[in-house]
């Protein structure tokens, strides 16, 4: 089984709808992250959490919210989806290891807002 | 100015040749640097981590770091078609990873 899972893997929704993307991990890491990826722009950080009680905004948090339900679960919500939130979304986890705070990525969720 | 800059490519490399990828960063306090490989539609996977000035080799990959010049590079020796992917440079800045936009590498037979 994958260490970092994301659900759903693909989602098509309409403008104005509220949706939630979920991330679960079995790596036992405290740190979790949500990124979005757009063509030509690389990965941009939306929110991150260094432990269950610590939630921080990233560089592009407007229009998004998160919930850290447990060490293993970190959810991303779009309160009112808009077309420019169409992107590939990745969840990641990290902890201090031999390769610093290496991040381990989930498989991604492809979101389309029409 | 972006915090992490890479040439977008595509970088076309003949099979068996060396691919050379460059990355510059703006935060002089950055201490850790990563190279991720990402196949189209897939998640990034770590291929190199470096934190000391100089070269670090792992198989066909060599990472080079020059903190004074704020420059990190990746060399791929004996390039194979399976190396065709986008390579993301990432820099730890204020406890978070800052990613470059990535360089697309295309290895031609």
Asked if residue B80 lies in contact with residue B14, where contact means CB atoms within 8 angstroms, the answer is no
- What does the pLDDT average to over A14-32? 96
pLDDT at A85 over 70: yes
- CB-CB contact of B13 with B105 (8 Å): yes
pLDDT at A99 over 80: no
Pairing, β A10-13 against β A109-113: parallel
**pLDDT beyond 90 at A34:** yes
Q: Which residue has the tokens 């399976």?
A: B82
The answer to whether the bond into A2 is cis (omega within 30° of 0) is no
pLDDT of residue A2: 67
Instruction: Kindly identify which residue of chain A lies nearest to residue B101, measuring between CA atoms.
Output: A42
Q: What are the chain B neighbours of A45 within 8 Å (beta carbons)?
A: 96-97
State what percent of residues in chain A have pLDDT above 70: 98
Mutation target to probe the A interface, by most A beta carbons within 10 A, among B44, B87, B91, B102 is: B44
| Distance (Å) of CA B89 to CA A89, A114, B28, B98 | 18, 32, 16, 8
Angle of CA points A4, A101, B8, to nearest 5°: 85
Amino acid B97: pLDDT: 87
Nearest CA distance, B81 vs chain A (angstrom): 22
Query: Does the structure show a pLDDT above 60 at A18?
Result: yes
Task: Please judge whether B101 and A48 are an interchain contact, meaning their C-beta atoms are less than 8 angstroms apart.
Answer: no
pLDDT tens digits, B42-99: 999 999 999 999 999 999 999 999 999 999 999 999 999 999 999 999 998 877 889 9
Interface probe for A, chosen from B61, B86, B92, B99 (most Cβ of A below 10 Å), is: B99
Residues B48, A32: Cα–Cα separation, whole Å? 21
Return the higher-pLDDT residue of A1 and A41.
A41
In sequence order, what are the beta bridge partners of B98? Answer: B91
Alpha-carbon B41 to chain mean position: 18
């Amino acid at each position: 089984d994958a260490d970092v899972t994301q659900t759903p893997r693909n989602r098509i929704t309409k403008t104005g709808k509220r949706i939630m993307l979920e991330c679960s991990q079995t790596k036992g890491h405290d740190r979790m992250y949500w990124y979005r990826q757009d063509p030509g722009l690389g990965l941009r950080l939306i929110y991150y959490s260094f432990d269950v009680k610590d939630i921080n905004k990233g560089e592009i948090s407007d229009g998004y919210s998160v919930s850290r339900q447990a060490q293993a679960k970190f959810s991303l919500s779009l309160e009112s989806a808009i077309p420019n939130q169409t992107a590939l979304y990745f969840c990641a986890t990290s902890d201090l290891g031999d390769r610093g705070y290496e991040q381990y990525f989930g498989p991604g969720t492809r979101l389309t807002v029409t | 100015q972006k915090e992490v800059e890479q040439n977008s490519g595509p970088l076309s490399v003949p099979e068996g040749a060396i691919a050379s990828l460059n990355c510059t960063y703006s935060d002089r306090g950055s201490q850790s640097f990563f190279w991720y490989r990402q196949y189209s539609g897939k998640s990034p996977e770590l291929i190199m981590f470096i934190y000391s000035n100089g070269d670090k080799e792992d198989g066909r990959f060599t990472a080079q770091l020059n903190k004074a010049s704020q420059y990190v590079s990746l060399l791929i020796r004996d390039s194979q078609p399976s190396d065709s992917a986008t390579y993301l440079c990432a820099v730890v800045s204020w406890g978070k990873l800052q990613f470059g936009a990535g360089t697309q590498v295309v290895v031609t037979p």
